[in-house]
Structure 1
């Protein structure tokens, strides 16, 4: 069993790396999703760029399970929400509301929204909220909330393999659905697809020392080879699904991405804590980065709108170079904004105590 005094330095490193990848996915220019080409190299680069943004989600849910398991049995719904509302859900609501106001302000300034009537304004708010919470960057917290409610309600089965298999069967249904489209394939609507990964994090927590020992025994070349193989397969699946017209073809809850993400998690565990990353205080800033990065992307996109619109005409290599610069700028600005908020009286807006 894991020691109650464990500091989770390796998890801190993983959290920062994975949130950086999430920022990458949020900052992708529109041409990556809309660009069409018959050139094999361009197709490969395009698939790699989009697939790269899909690998962190599963890991984030696993990490959440690892960190929450020690408190699971003592949680009632009341105790859970009393503890988590101030640091998770209230900041999320505030930032979502701030996003709505900023987007509407930009619509008014650009004359996309020209009305004083209440109905068009309410309709615009609904569309924006739908985009942010259902299809956009803020779906994670709502999905995590539903997962935790399920797991707290059934907490007596938290160690039960059959309960885990039941949750996995739900995840598997959503994964198979990409190839049959029985229901909407958009991953942000698969609200029960990720509960299994929180449960899996619980199991990792229970057997943490054994997992660390087993990961240390895996040869580097084996892990790297597995990563390359499954990342390539995930890229191909995403490309094939996009050709088939599937919505959200590079979704994080595809089987190929799930397998790769778990292998990548073990790879990061094997690397262990990275001091230069942990010196950035991931425990304090990661949730803030998640909440704030989309606002930074929004404002940079508005500022650079006329340049971004011309990106459909540039070469794939130019697009890639500009994407890396845009991502780097987004991550750096977000990091400094979050650090400023943590040291100010506004730290509550990102869940910092």
Structure 2
């Protein structure tokens, strides 16, 4: 998801934020990895397979929260520079227009696929018998139950912070938003309401606020992280990762389908520690070749189409049944899907950015 263009940041300010490209690039890899998974959490029950499955699904689970933290870092000054209406207008141009374009592309390809299937004699289902209902269900799926939902979620989070702009640096606001997020964490165990990410409408506002707050006190935050020894960071990473795995095991045993939800309390801790570790790591020069500043949003918008439409078209004739494969085979398939989706999305974004259509990848 797009966060904020570096070329809108003052030159002296930009230098301090070189770490953003590293976090942005690694986090986007993590998001594509998560969406590339060929592993169903209900599939494996033996301990060794469950452990491999959990590590595979958990290792990059910090990515979404990291993006909201980065967004907070980068939008803080924009909140102060522009009136709310002007800021939202700029955001629409750079974020919403590309998002709408790819939503329409995904929807059109999906409908075309069903039309071709119907023409070949396959069951057209609602597409033929009740197209308005089919279109409604497809729209609902794309907007609320696909990765495209997080763009809407992000914009809602920004709007909420703009509403409370007067109190943006108040601790009490962060406490309230943090408590809202924890409600979602507790709900995973008790099921008071729907646990899917589309129901977590306000669960991510806290991390956007936290990014804004850390930006406000950036020098103090940087000093704290820089003086923290690496062995402490590594220890905290190992402990938080282990805690997240244990909570997932517990939720799986309870029969919770959303056992790897991003807003698990232990995953929140893991995500924050991972963010601090990446911050301490700083800028990685070899990642600059991937141009994360220019390509991240395009990769996010395109990768889901690659995974759901292109790969589906390629592998559909093979009639693969992932449930018949071992955890190791499915992990290998996940790796293959990830590499294909990430590389294709990256290449397409780079090519598009060189044309007059570059606005569809947020440039």
TM-score bracket for this pair, using the shorter chain length: over 0.9
Quick one: distance in 2 between partners of 1:104 and 1:312? 27
Quick one: distance in 1 between partners of 2:334 and 2:319? 10
Distance verdict in 2 for CA 1:222–1:340, change over 3 Å: same
Could you tell me which residue of structure 2 aligns to residue 97 of structure 1?
104
- TM normalised by structure 1 equals 0.93
1:136 to 118, 139, 146: 146
Distance verdict in 2 for CA 1:117–1:28, change over 3 Å: closer
Could you tell me which residue of structure 2 aligns to residue 237 of structure 1?
247
1:346 to 2:357 alignment: yes
Could you tell me which residue of structure 1 aligns to residue 339 of structure 2?
328
Contact residue 69 and residue 205 of structure 1 kept, 8 A: yes
Could you tell me which residue of structure 2 aligns to residue 300 of structure 1?
311
1:32 to 2:43 alignment: no
**Does 266-275 or 101-110 show the bigger shift?**
101-110
1:225 to 229, 235, 241: 235
Could you tell me which residue of structure 1 aligns to residue 19 of structure 2?
10
Quick one: distance in 2 between partners of 1:349 and 1:218? 41
Count of aligned pairs: 349
Distance verdict in 2 for CA 1:275–1:253, change over 3 Å: same
Quick one: distance in 1 between partners of 2:152 and 2:254? 29
Contact residue 41 and residue 257 of structure 2 kept, 8 A: no
**Superposition pairs for residues 1-353 of structure 1, below 5 Å?**
4-7=12-15, 8-29=17-38, 31-38=39-46, 40-111=47-118, 114=124, 120-298=130-308, 299-307=310-318, 309-352=320-363
Quick one: distance in 1 between partners of 2:173 and 2:11? 25
Gaps of 5+ in 1: none
Contact residue 19 and residue 290 of structure 1 kept, 8 A: yes
Contact residue 62 and residue 270 of structure 2 kept, 8 A: yes
How far the C-alpha of 1:53 sits from its partner, in A, is 4.4
Contact residue 75 and residue 152 of structure 1 kept, 8 A: no
* Structure 1 vs Structure 2 CA RMSD: 2.0
CA-to-aligned-CA distance 1:17-58 (integer Å, 9 cap, x gap) = 0001000011111x43341232x2101011112223422111
Distance verdict in 2 for CA 1:27–1:246, change over 3 Å: same
**Does 110-119 or 243-252 show the bigger shift?**
110-119
**Does 73-82 or 212-221 show the bigger shift?**
73-82
CA-to-aligned-CA distance 1:248-307 (integer Å, 9 cap, x gap) = 221111111110000000111111100010232111110111101101112112211244
Quick one: distance in 2 between partners of 1:288 and 1:326? 18
Contact residue 127 and residue 134 of structure 2 kept, 8 A: no
Quick one: distance in 2 between partners of 1:139 and 1:108? 25
Contact residue 301 and residue 308 of structure 1 kept, 8 A: no
Distance verdict in 2 for CA 1:115–1:267, change over 3 Å: closer
Q: Is the partner of 1:88 in helix, strand or coil?
A: helix
How far the C-alpha of 1:309 sits from its partner, in A, is 2.6
Quick one: distance in 1 between partners of 2:123 and 2:75? 43
Contact residue 9 and residue 278 of structure 1 kept, 8 A: no
- TM normalised by structure 2 equals 0.91
